[in-house]
Amino acid sequence: MTTHVTVRDDDYVIDQNWAGYTADEHAVWDFLYRRQRDILADRADPAMLDGLQALDLNRGGIPNFAVLNEELKRRTGFTVVAVPGLVPDEVFFTHLANRRFPAGQFIRGRHQLDYLQEPDIFHDVFGHVPLLTNPVFADYMEAYGKGGLRAMKFGRLKNLSALYWYTVEFGLIETPKGLRIYGAGISSSKDESIFALEDPSPNRLRFNLERVMRTDYRIDDFQQTYFIIRSYDELFRATVDTDFAPLYERLADDISFRPEAVLPDDGVLHRGTQAYAAAKARS
């Protein structure tokens, strides 16, 4: 694949160069899409599955942003822009605040189908983008971007990253049919899609904004705690109804909780055995 990495120093947006993807890269997308879509059939929140359908992401091959952006922009005003990989926090927040989602332009190799550290186009476009068709979630993502820029001014980036991690990346939502996945870190992962909902090991606790913002997290393994929202409106309201200035003052005490902690005030849906983490610690 010829990579036109014309990284501009302002917003890191590059040309997706869709014509440059090879047949094998398109085949990797198709393999991952089909495998993950089957796993998510009764595990993902319907809003995410509806988004996959609405954006026609299963038309075969890596999605062309120019095509998917027509439908996405029509629905919520969001557009997907191609970036080389992780971008600096301020660049990331600025994009979200302007209803642009920065998606990795590359796709993982066959040697790393099950896990990779950097967000590739499958994690971003299969995992994150479908929910951007949901108006309330789109409002949350814009509010999050604006909040991120403010958090940086208060030196509270770590707390805001924890909020992103336990919602946008690893959040679960309660539905009439039970808990469902909406976090992209789970929905794009074969094994964590099952672990997060069905394994007795992790805690499953009710979402609480300040509690989540104080909670440390693991970036290299399954989560030891998942937080559960009742609706995207709950998530959006938590962001817009909170006066962040006094919250940031309180967070300045730097009290944080370990990923596996269960606190007296937590709304506990499931107290995890932490058996998975204990086994990993022994290995």
Contact set with ligand HBI (CB under 6 A): 83, 86-87, 89, 92, 102, 119, 148, 161, 164
Q: Nearer Cβ to ligand HBI, position 137 or 164?
A: 164
Which one of ligand HBI, Fe ion, none interacts with residue 251, CB within 5 to 8 A by kind? none
Which one of ligand HBI, Fe ion, none interacts with residue 145, CB within 5 to 8 A by kind? none
In the chain, which ranges are E strands?
79-83, 100-104, 172-175, 178-181, 203-206, 225-229, 268-270
What is the tally of helices (H) and strands (E) in the chain? 13, 7
C-alpha to C-alpha distance for 221 and 67, rounded to whole angstroms: 34
Closest distance to Fe ion from the beta carbon of 68 (Å): 17
* 3-class SS of residue 257: strand
C-alpha to C-alpha distance for 208 and 78, rounded to whole angstroms: 27
Q: Nearer Cβ to ligand HBI, position 32 or 97?
A: 97
Closest distance to ligand HBI from the beta carbon of 269 (Å): 25
**Residues 115-144, mask of contacts with Fe ion (x by CB under 5 A):** ----x-------------------------
Q: Nearer Cβ to ligand HBI, position 108 or 179?
A: 108
Q: Are strands 225-229 and 172-175 parallel, antiparallel or unpaired?
A: parallel
Q: Nearer Cβ to ligand HBI, position 148 or 272?
A: 148
Closest distance to ligand HBI from the beta carbon of 261 (Å): 20
Distances (CA, A) of 139 to 53, 75, 86: 20, 12, 22
Q: Are 128 and 103 in contact (CB under 8 A)?
A: yes
Q: Nearer Cβ to ligand HBI, position 92 or 170?
A: 92
Closest distance to Fe ion from the beta carbon of 243 (Å): 28
By CB under 5 A, how many residues form the interface with Fe ion? Answer: 2
Q: Are 149 and 159 in contact (CB under 8 A)?
A: no
Which positions touch Fe ion (CB under 5 A)?
119, 184
